Structure 1
Amino acid sequence: MRRHAPAVAAVTLAVLLAGCNGSDPDPSTSTTTPPTSIPTTKTTTSPTTPGTRSKIPPSAQKHSVAGSEAFTEYFIHSLNVAWTTPDEHILPELCNSSSKACAALQRTAVDLATKSQRYTKEPASIKTVIFAGTSKGLYRVEFLGTQNRASVVDKDGKVVLTDPEEPSHWLFFLEWESTHWLVHEIKIVESQ
């Protein structure tokens, strides 16, 4: 019986993000609504490998509230590209190497590439990205969007799995690393 790694990775990510604790930032200051998933709609440039960081739009390269929001949008767009191409080189340049959430997202990109599989359309779309404050030197940015109904196909075009459409609500913790943003961690905000 064949394993469906992207689905397993998505479930693992949901559990990982919802259950992160310890020294991770505390998202409890956010009290907004919807459930788990990923998203995208407004981004200007397409990341390509190598040198994803060099493809970041100027608006996402600013150490400001607007810059953190633009970077979050760019990250979601990059995630979509990493999973639809697939390309395992995109996400590492955008993440802190200690981020458990980024590692889970990256595992999916690697798994898709290794198995010659890909998403047929963007798995995520953005409704809203909004700055939510700072905590312990990190910028918190809320992402509300949709995990799109999207299929994963193999190299022959056979559907391996299909993700359902679901609302997404993530809280990004971003750090400014002297000249650029990095994702420090991502948490899923549970609906209440």
Structure 2
Amino acid sequence: MEIPAAARAHTPAGAEAFVKFFMVQVNVAWTRPQAGLIPPLGEPGCLSCQSFERTASDLVAKGHRYAKTPATYTRFEALSGAPGGRQYVRVLGTQHRVDIVDSAGRVVSTDAEKPIAVNAMTVWQGDQWLLYDMG
């Protein structure tokens, strides 16, 4: 997986671009579905990353997938106040009302539509951003 150049910059804008890339990968992991996309983008102790990956792995194991993009993100904004080497990023968007379907296309469950407003914390490790957590 190639992380875009903008998301590799060690700047607040780079952290914003990284979180945007991360959230696109979650959408891909759940609609394809595909396990293994999330762990390389998260710090090993990231509980949110583990939860996103667990969902992807469960979808793969059951032969299920999201029928369309689970969420759309409308704003990524770097925030001040994070400890050294870290960057807060505010994420706004919408979790869509979307069906989860089996391999035959039958609906097995449906996520409700709701707004998304969370803060992500990224950490600069080596030469890249990683997601530290989200909540």
TM-score by length of 2: 0.96
Per-residue CA deviations over 1:128-176 (Å, capped at 9, x if unaligned) read 1100114222200000000011111001110011111110011000001
Q: Name the structure 1 match of 2:66.
A: 119
- Paired residue secondary structure (1:175): strand
- Give structure 2 stretches of 5+ with no counterpart: none
Higher relative strand content: 2
Larger relative CO (CA 8 A, sep 6+): 1 or 2? 1
Q: Name the structure 1 match of 2:109.
A: 161
Aligned ranges 1:105-184 → 2 under 5 Å:
105-137=52-84, 138-184=86-132
Selected match of 1:81 from 24, 28, 32:
28
* Number of residues of Structure 1 aligned to a counterpart in Structure 2: 134
Deviation at 1:186, TM superposition (A): 0.5
Q: Name the structure 2 match of 1:10.
A: none
Q: Percent same amino acid among aligned pairs?
A: 37
- 1:59 and 1:135 map into 2 onto residues whose CA distance is 20
Aligned alpha-carbon RMSD (Å) = 0.8
- Give structure 1 stretches of 5+ with no counterpart: 1-51, 188-192
TM-score by length of 1: 0.68
- Paired residue secondary structure (2:109): strand
- 1:99 and 1:89 map into 2 onto residues whose CA distance is 15
